[in-house]
């Protein structure tokens, strides 16, 4: 029965076409995320600074930006030599002001501090 | 979200992991890594982060399982009775029984994008709940420990760690899915050849 054979062949061809399509999509998908992973890794290798976020603590920001913690604490009106492990969100809440204000204050302070003492060059230093 | 974590600690951490594991997308990789960084800063305790995190994630996963089992199963049975396809459901259940444990375990920490789907399909296939819970919890323990440790070790770069890890899990998912599709393609080709040969044989008789 040649008709049956043809329909079989058609069915297999269609199935192969669909799976081939999915495969091409998956290859593109995998390639995209492979490329993205490499890009991310390269980006973070070159950029030591993380944008300041409300969940970060002063110590965290100081560590990330290579700035002494007391400088940042003074900028926020906190005692310079008392250890402070609160995240910015909590500091802002307790100081009754928006966290964005603290972030821009810290950014300005870091900028000023860096003009006095430039940080180690990205990727270099060793 | 991370501000809540910073401000309220463990209860928020737990709640978000439950919700996200039940299937509502949240950037929980970043959250666990941040919790690890808070451990380094002395804000949180490592073992609490691991135990509460794994418990939260496992509870969320079991909610997903329950949705599949009690919400979807009845509809599927009803549909199967109406329009047929019982054999297909049985085949899917066989597959789930054979590969269930591996799938559940690996989708907890290695191929995480599959997690919420596997929760629901395990429930749909009526995979043993006890076994689901055990493999689920062991996988989640690995996942939380892995990212909390990474966050703790790279505590000044958690955003970097999380963004690379998120891309990496999708990359692994893509590679696994590609390999599976290639295997299916090879199988179909084999079946096509043997099927055509059989037909040719029948004809010549």
Indicate if the alpha-carbon torsion angle A21, A24, A25, A26 is positive or negative.
positive
Nearest by CB: A40 against B167, B177, B188: B167
Q: In chain B, how many domains are there?
A: 1
- Per-residue pLDDT tens, chain B, 205 aa: give them: 787 787 778 999 999 999 999 989 888 999 999 999 888 877 789 999 999 999 999 999 999 999 988 887 777 777 777 766 667 667 766 767 777 888 899 989 988 888 888 898 888 888 899 999 999 999 999 999 999 999 998 877 888 888 888 899 899 999 998 998 888 888 877 776 776 666 666 665 5
Q: Which domain holds residue B36?
A: 2-204
- Is the reported ipTM for this assembly greater than 0.85? no
CA distance B125 to B58: 19
- Tens digits of residue pLDDT in A81-99: 887 778 888 899 889 999 9
CB contact under 8 A, B2 and A54: yes
User: What is the DSSP secondary-structure string of B125-162?
Assistant: TT--HHHHHHHHHHHHHHHHHHHHHHHHHTTT-HHHHH
CA distance A99 to A15: 56
Please state the pTM of the whole predicted model: 0.76
CA distance B6 to A102: 16
Structure tokens at B35: 């919790």
CB contact under 8 A, A55 and B3: yes
Q: Which residue of A has its CA nearest to B160?
A: A44
CA distance B98 to B93: 9
Q: Which residue of B has its CA nearest to A18?
A: B185
Nearest by CB: B164 against A16, A40, A88: A40
CB contact under 8 A, A20 and B3: no
Contacts of A38 by beta carbon, 8 Å cutoff, 6+ apart: none
Mutate to test the interface with B, among A30, A49, A69 (most CBs of B within 10 A): A30
User: What is the DSSP secondary-structure string of B8-73?
Assistant: H-HHHHHHHHHHHHTT----HHHHHHHHHHHHHTTSS-HHHHHHHHHHHHHHHHHHHHHIIIIIIH
**Short-list A109, A83, A64, CA closest to B158:** A64
């Amino acid at each position: 029965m040649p008709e049956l054979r043809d329909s079989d062949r058609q069915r297999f061809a269609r199935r192969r076409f669909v799976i081939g399509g999915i495969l091409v999509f998956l290859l593109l998908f995998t390639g995209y995320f492979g490329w993205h992973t490499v890009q991310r890794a390269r980006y973070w290798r070159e950029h030591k600074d993380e944008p300041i976020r409300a969940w970060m603590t002063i110590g965290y920001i100081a560590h990330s930006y290579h700035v002494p913690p007391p400088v940042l604490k003074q900028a926020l009106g906190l005692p310079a030599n008392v250890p402070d492990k609160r995240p910015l969100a909590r500091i802002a809440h307790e100081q009754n002001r928006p966290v964005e204000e603290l972030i821009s204050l810290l950014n300005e302070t870091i900028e000023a501090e860096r003009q006095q003492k430039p940080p180690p060059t990205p990727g270099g230093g060793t | 979200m991370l501000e809540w974590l910073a401000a309220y600690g463990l209860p928020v951490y737990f709640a978000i992991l439950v919700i996200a594991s039940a299937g509502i997308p949240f950037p929980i990789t970043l959250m666990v890594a941040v919790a690890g960084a808070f451990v380094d800063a002395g804000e949180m305790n490592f073992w609490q982060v691991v135990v509460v995190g794994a418990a939260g994630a496992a509870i969320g996963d079991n909610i997903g399982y329950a949705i599949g089992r009690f919400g979807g199963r009845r509809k599927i049975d009803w549909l199967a009775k109406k329009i047929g396809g019982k054999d297909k459901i049985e085949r899917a259940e066989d597959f789930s029984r054979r590969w269930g444990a591996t799938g559940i375990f690996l989708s907890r920490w290695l191929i995480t994008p599959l997690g919420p789907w596997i929760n629901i399909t395990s429930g749909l296939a009526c995979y043993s709940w006890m076994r689901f819970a055990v493999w689920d919890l062991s996988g989640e323990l690995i996942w939380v420990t892995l990212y909390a440790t990474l966050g703790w070790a790279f505590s000044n770069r958690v955003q970097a760690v999380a963004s690379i890890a998120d891309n990496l899990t999708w990359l692994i998912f893509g590679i696994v899915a590609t390999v599976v599709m290639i295997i299916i393609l090879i199988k179909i080709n084999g079946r096509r050849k043997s099927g055509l040969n059989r037909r040719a044989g029948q004809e010549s008789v």
